Amino acid sequence: MTSFIALDEQWSTHNYHPLPVVLTEGDGAWVTDVEGRRYLDFLSAYSALNFGHRHPALVEAATTQLGRITLTSRAFHHDQLGPFCAELAALTGTEMVLPMNSGAEAVESALKVARKWAYEAKGIPDGQAEIVVAGSNFHGRTTTIVSFSTDESARAHFGPFTPGFVVVKYGDVAALRDAITERTAAVLLEPVQGEAGVIVPPDGYFAEARRLCDEAGALLIADEIQSGLARTGTLLALDHEHVRADLYTLGKALGGGIVPLSAVVGRRDVLGVLRPGEHGSTFGGNPLACAVGRAVLVLLSSGEYQQRSTALGAHLHARLGELIGHGLAEVRGRGLWAGIDITPGGLSGRQASEALAEKGVLCKETHGNTLRLAPPLMISEEDLDTGIDAIAKVVRR
Ligand SMILES: *Cc1c(COP(=O)(O)O)cnc(C)c1O
């Protein structure tokens, strides 16, 4: 095990600080390390593994497609792209799909589209468009996206930054109202802030954001890359608010934990501003990714994973709630997704995740003493309880 870690340390850039665990196999909610120790995966690659490791239907879709064709130039059509986009639009109730690969690329694409739409349709003078975003956001790691991050470690020494962003406090309607002007092209928000520690906004925040955007003729863009695709108990986390966005960014679970696959989905008059040559990606919408994505959409259309998230999430939150005052200061979240704050003076998030790994449960701190829990949605209630028991033992004081 130490030899693998030593190779990582020597040859791989140090932009992550992983737990000292070296995984070699995964099956459902379980992973196995190179020494044969088994662990419950309570992080699910930040929701990219909503369906667990190697879900049979997803592996089958990938294997079948591997036997046909994996990549075409986008200079040609192929028989997976159209069906994937049609099926994704139907499931999400949207009109058009722009497929990309990583989540950050989907967000970048949404920002570009929003700006172009603002100049061509809304009539904002060229170069003047503003996009309003929230503090403590996480939208990815590109130069433009870190330009409006409020996390110093994500930004420091990566400037000069892309202008045109206005940052307001998340969940604060008055701050949003003050920030929106006639130059606002779009408001970009996470329906639940995952990386920030699974922060659920106050009731009515999104309804009000929707109203303010409509009033100003601005787009509402929901970044559902982590919160969407059944994680919170509904297809999209914004569904809890009974609000529709103009554009949604999707990623992570869209690729079934097998391939990177992201997309911007939304209004035809907005995504329609893109003309040939104005945007693209060599691997975006490739046959292998689309075939896996289509199998993901089949799993999501049954509603089974949404129901599991709701039922198992209620159980998770009930049990974590019992630990408040007994090792936990606060528990937040929605569905099978939780941010837990360890009582100050207790273990740090890092110490707690190391202690949990020793007990056979893998998760990771987000910041300081906050842990994020996102077990795969296919986990059994018994396995979920095993993981919660370990958490209770580690944090209880
Ligand atoms: C993970 C994430 C991203 C970035 O996705 P990558 O695939 O890592 O580029 C963007 N937005 C949200 C809300 C995320 O959770």
125 CA from centroid of ligand 1 (Å): 30
Q: Which atom of ligand 1 is nearest to the CA of 101?
A: 7
Whole-number Å distance, alpha carbon 62 to ligand 1 midpoint, is 23
Question: How much is the pLDDT for 42?
Answer: 98
- Catalytic residue chosen out of the listed positions 41, 223, 341, 383: 223
Residue tagged 């869209």 (tokens): 254
Edge-first strand listing for the sheet containing 96-100: 96-100, 262-266, 247-250, 219-223, 184-189, 130-134, 165-168
Report the separation in Å between the CA atom of 3 and the middle of ligand 1, taken as the mean of its atom positions.
30
pLDDT interval class at 1 (50, 70, 90): confident
Give the mean pLDDT of 49-62: 98
- Sign of the CA dihedral 118, 229, 73, 82? negative
Angle formed at CA 255 by CA 40 and CA 25, multiple of 5 degrees: 35
Q: Assess contact for 132 and 189: CB atoms under 8 A.
A: no
Catalytic residue among 116, 122, 252, 364: 252
Q: How far is the CA of 397 from the centre of ligand 1 (A)?
A: 34
Please tell me the predicted confidence (pLDDT) of residue 208: 98
Which residue has the least CA distance to atom 11 on ligand 1? 139
32: helix, coil or strand? strand
With 0-12 / 13-18 / 19 or more C-beta atoms within 10 angstroms meaning exposed / middle / buried, residue 15 is exposed
**Cα–Cα distance for residue pair 178/176, rounded to 1 Å:** 5
The predicted-structure confidence for 107-162, as pLDDT tens digits, reads as follows 999 999 999 999 999 999 999 999 999 999 999 999 999 999 999 999 999 999 99
Q: What is the pLDDT of residue 367?
A: 87
pLDDT higher than 80, residue 63: yes
Dist. CA 226 → ligand 1 center (Å): 7
Mean pLDDT of the chain: 97
Q: What is the DSSP-derived secondary structure letter of residue 43? A: S
Q: Catalytic: 116?
A: no
pLDDT at 378: 98
- Encode 329-366: b = buried (16+ Cβ within 10 Å), e = exposed: bebbbbbbbbbbbbbeebbebeebbbbbbeeebbbbbb
Task: Check pLDDT > 80 for residue 331.
Answer: yes
Query: Do residues 87 and 291 lie in contact, with contact meaning Cβ atoms separated by under 8 Å?
Result: no
**Model pLDDT, residue 167:** 98
Q: Cis bond leading into 160, ω under 30°?
A: yes
- Annotation marks residue 393 as catalytic: no
Residues framing ligand 1 (Cβ under 6 A): 46, 102-104, 107, 138-140, 190, 194-195, 223, 225-226, 251
- For residue 123, how far is its CA from the centre of ligand 1 (angstroms)? 30
Domains and their CATH numbers in the chain:
2-55+305-395 (3.90.1150.10), 57-301 (3.40.640.10)
Catalytic residue, chosen from 42, 51, 84, 138, is: 138
User: Which residue's C-alpha comes closest to atom 5 of ligand 1?
Assistant: 103
Substitution candidate for ligand 1 out of 226, 247, 259 with most atoms within 8 A of CB: 226
236: left (phi over 0), alpha (psi -120 to 50) or beta: beta
Decide the pairing of beta strands 30-33 and 370-373. unpaired
How many Cβ atoms from other residues are within 10 Å of residue 267's Cβ?
A: 17
Task: Give percent of the chain with pLDDT exceeding 90.
Answer: 98
pLDDT in tens, 314-323: 999 999 999 9
Distance, CA of 99 to CA of 287 (rounded, Å): 11
* Strand intervals (E) in 6-82: 23-27, 30-33, 38-41
Q: Is the pLDDT of residue 397 over 90?
A: no
> What DSSP letter does each residue of 89-100 carry, written as one string?
HHHHT-SEEEEE
Supply the DSSP string of 293-354, one letter for each residue: HHHHHHHHHT-HHHHHHHHHHHHHHHHHHTTBTTTEEEEEESSS-EEEEEPTTS--HHHHHH
Q: Could you identify the atom of ligand 1 that is nearest to the CA of residue 262? A: 7
Q: What is the pLDDT of residue 382?
A: 98
- Work out the angle at residue 240's Cα, subtended by the Cα atoms of residues 28 and 307, and round it to the nearest 5 degrees: 35
pLDDT digits (tens, 9 = 90+) for 4-15: 999 999 999 999
Give the per-residue pLDDT at 326. 95
Q: How far apart are CA 180 and CA 211, in angstroms?
A: 12
Compute the average pLDDT of residues 31-42.
98
Give 241-279 pLDDT, tens digit per residue.
999 999 999 999 999 999 999 999 999 999 999 999 999
**What's 237's DSSP letter?**
G
Residue 236 has pLDDT above 90, yes or no: yes
Residue 84 annotated among the catalytic residues of the structure? no
pLDDT (average), residues 231-244: 98
103 CA distance to ligand 1 middle (Å): 4
Q: Indicate which atom in ligand 1 lies nearest the CA of residue 47.
A: 15
Query: Which residue, by CA, sits nearest to atom 15 of ligand 1?
Result: 226
Query: What phi, psi does 209 have (nearest 5°)?
Result: -60, -40
Q: How far is the CA of 138 from the centre of ligand 1 (A)?
A: 7
What percent of the chain has a predicted confidence (pLDDT) above 70? 100
Q: What is the pLDDT of residue 319?
A: 98
